[in-house]
Amino acid sequence: MNADPERLPTRDRILIVEDQPELAEVLDYQLQAQGFATLVAGSGLQACRLAGRENPDLILLDILLPDLDGWEVCRLIRARGDEKIGSVPIVMLTALGSMPDRLRGLEIGADAFIAKPYSIREVVLTARRLITRRRQENSLTDEVLRLRDLSRHETAIQDILCHELRNQLLILRGFSGLLGKSGRDSEEENRTCINAIARSSQTLGNLAESLLLLRRCENEGLSLPVDHPDVSPLLQETVALYRPFADQKRVGLELDCPADLQPSKLNGLGLRLVVANLVENAIKYSPPGSKVNVQATMEDEETLQIVVEDDGPGVPEQQRERIFQRFVRGPGHDATIPGSGLGLYIARSLAQSMGGNIAYRPVEPHCIRFAATFHGQP
């Protein structure tokens, strides 16, 4: 009368541990009639195996069993490292009704006792009560974990915004410094500085709005809404913002981008932040006299690839995934190059939020390539 294990996940599952076949059969039949799925074990060893393999919602455990008795089975289950198995409700079915026996059961983790002979109604009511209680406890635990993850998530968002705020303030300071230099009489140069300051100020406004943008997507793993950005102008503006930084370091900055790039499933602000962090990272680690190349192509109708290539020092193979973690910086440069170790973390996190990813691809000993590929959000 044992239920088919393939069908057990659709109902609350009860493991019956009883060595007397006639009692096990009655319990099995009555519990199935009440809507439960059942498993039956005739010994303590079999009960431990089934509990570990099938993860029942409740165990009805006889105490007087062959091989391992009910006390030992209960102790072994409670000692399991797996929280789901170790916390399963256990109801002891026993003819041993003395207070010392009950206290012993409670000490090793039994949730309830039902004395033999028992009524099926008492067994069913006790099972439903304990299964409901466990489900509520699990729900509360999940909520606590969700709130903890949300707190970490909000901290990460704040780190992202502060990091980008610092970047834009550096750009503003650079252009305003150029404007303030004496002897500047070129209207065209002044206009270039003013336009760059205006673009950077707009980016700061976008960053303020991005906090609301990202919080709206907390439950979707930082998924960003699609707003169909015009990619070519967006890349041109973003790269232009970093030209003063590149010039200051005597690093060439080039962009190769067709004018008709416009993938349909991306977020403009997220894409801007991805490119900005990759470009800043490339300039930061490039030696004077080298070049940073930014290239954008459409791999197909939906897939955009942006490659940022530079002549930096490279990253050892064992470090190539770690550099995308928060607060991890390129090895050997922490003391000489300013930064917070958030740039690549930000770039990959936002790329993944738009259905893409970023990979480190060493081309040759002195050529580094970060390839951001966006397949578009579903």
Residue in the block written with tokens 């801007």: 272
Residue in the block written with tokens 């459409």: 298
CA-CA distance, 378 to 36, in Å (whole number)?
Answer: 39
Range name among 58-62, 91-95, 103-107 with the lowest pLDDT average: 103-107
Full-model pTM: 0.51
For residues 254-268, give the mean pLDDT. Answer: 84
The half-sphere exposure of 161 on its side-chain side, counting CA atoms within 13 A, is: 18
CA-CA distance, 286 to 307, in Å (whole number)?
Answer: 16
For 259-274, b/e burial (b = at least 16 CB within 10 A) is eebebebbbbbbbbbb
pLDDT band at residue 48, thresholds of 50, 70 and 90? very high
Check if CATH label 3.30.565.10 holds for domain 146-374. Answer: yes
CA-CA distance, 2 to 28, in Å (whole number)?
Answer: 7
Range name among 65-69, 177-181, 211-215, 270-274 with the lowest pLDDT average: 211-215
CB–CB of 28/41 below 8 Å? Answer: no
Task: Give 291's strand partners.
Answer: 252
DSSP output for 41-58: ESSHHHHHHHHHHH--SE
CB–CB of 311/286 below 8 Å? Answer: yes
For residues 241-268, give the mean pLDDT. Answer: 85
In the chain, domain spans: 5-118, 146-374
Counting residues of the chain whose pLDDT is more than 70, the rounded percentage is: 79
Comparing C-alpha atoms, which of 293, 275, 251, 269 is closest to residue 213? 269
CA-CA distance, 49 to 44, in Å (whole number)?
Answer: 9
Under DSSP, is residue 374 helix (H, G, I), strand (E, B) or coil? strand
Range name among 155-164, 262-271, 312-321 with the lowest pLDDT average: 155-164
Please tell me which of 43-52, 189-198, 351-360 the model is most confident about, judged by mean pLDDT. Answer: 43-52
CA-CA distance, 331 to 308, in Å (whole number)?
Answer: 20
CB–CB of 59/44 below 8 Å? Answer: no
DSSP output for 188-235: HHHHHHHHHHHHHHHHHHHHHHHHHHHHTTGGGTSPPPP----HHHHH
Comparing C-alpha atoms, which of 48, 43, 38 is closest to residue 16? 38
Residue 219: what residue type? N
CA-CA distance, 93 to 116, in Å (whole number)?
Answer: 7
CATH superfamily to which 5-118 belongs = Response regulator (3.40.50.2300)
DSSP 289: T
The residue that leads in pLDDT, 266 or 219, is 266
Confirm whether 5-118 and 146-374 share one CATH topology: no
| Element spanning 132, H or E | helix 120-180
Residue 161: what residue type? L
Residue 340: what residue type? S
Under DSSP, is residue 82 helix (H, G, I), strand (E, B) or coil? coil
pLDDT score at 130: 94
Write the pLDDT tens digit of every residue in 75-94. Answer: 999 888 777 788 899 998 88
Residue 32: what residue type? Q
CB–CB of 302/375 below 8 Å? Answer: yes
DSSP 357: E
299 φ/ψ angles, rounded to the nearest 5 degrees = -70, -35
Task: Give 41's strand partners.
Answer: 17
